[in-house]
Chains A and B, each alone.
Chain A
C-alpha cells in the first residue's frame, strides 16, 4: 500500500530565509504524481506545486521548488525568501494509478518576523 510520511510535525523559519520540508513515500508503482498542498488557518487547501514521477527535472513555482529523488522516494519542498503569508500547514500527497490521493500528516510551518 502506498504511504506518505512527513516526519516533521512542526517547522519554523525566519522571514526571508529558506526552509525545506521533508516528505517520503512508499510505492511499488513507477507512474505517479506528487504534490505539495498548503492549508492556511482558513482551512482551504491550496495547491503549491506538483511533480510528475517520469520527469527528472525538479518542479519550480516562484519561491517554491522541490527536490525529487525518485530512487530514494523522497520529495522535499524548499521555500525560499520565506514570507509571513507562507505560515500554514503543508501536506505532501501522492497519487498513483488508482486515482486516489494519499496524504501525509502535514507539517506546520511558522514564519518568524
Chain B
C-alpha cells in the first residue's frame, strides 16, 4: 500500500495567490482529515470527512480556507487568498472507519511557505 499521498510536498507562493493542496487517502479508508502544524500552535485539526461528507470544519481558520472531497480517493484544501501566516506544514490523514476505534495514518505533509 502506498499510504496517504499528498501533493505537492513543498509549495512556495506569494501573498494573495491561491494555493491548492491535494490528498489521496489509503484505498478503502472512509475518513479523511486535514491538519495544520505550526511551531506556535502545534498540530491542529482543520476539517475531517466521513464517506466524503464534511463532518466538522470548526477548525478551519477562516473563510479563506475551503476543503472538498469529490470522491473517496481525493480531497483538496484550498487557500484563497493566501497570507504569510498560512505558512505551515499541512497534513492529510485517513482512517478505515468512522468510529474512534480507527488509527489515523498520516501523509508526508505539504510544506507551505507564503511570502
Mark A residues whose CB is within 8 Å of B: 31-33, 35, 37, 42-47, 50, 91, 95-101, 103-106
Contact = CB atoms under 8 A, between A and B. Distances in A.
B89 interface: yes
Contacts of B56: 100
Given A43-B89, A43-B109, A47-B103, A101 B42 contact: no
Contacts of A42: 108
A7 to B, nearest CB: 14
Contacts of A103: 42-43
Contacts of B109: 43-45
Interface string B84-115: 00000101010000111101111111010000
Chain A to chain B: the 6 pairs with minimum beta-carbon distance, closest first: A45-B106, A103-B43, A44-B108, A105-B42, A43-B109, A95-B100
Interface residues of B, number: 25
Contact of A33 (B37, B55, B98, B101): B101
Interface of B: 31, 33, 37, 42-43, 45, 48, 50, 55-56, 89, 91, 93, 98-101, 103-109, 111
Interface of A, secondary structure class, is loop
A33 B91 contact: no
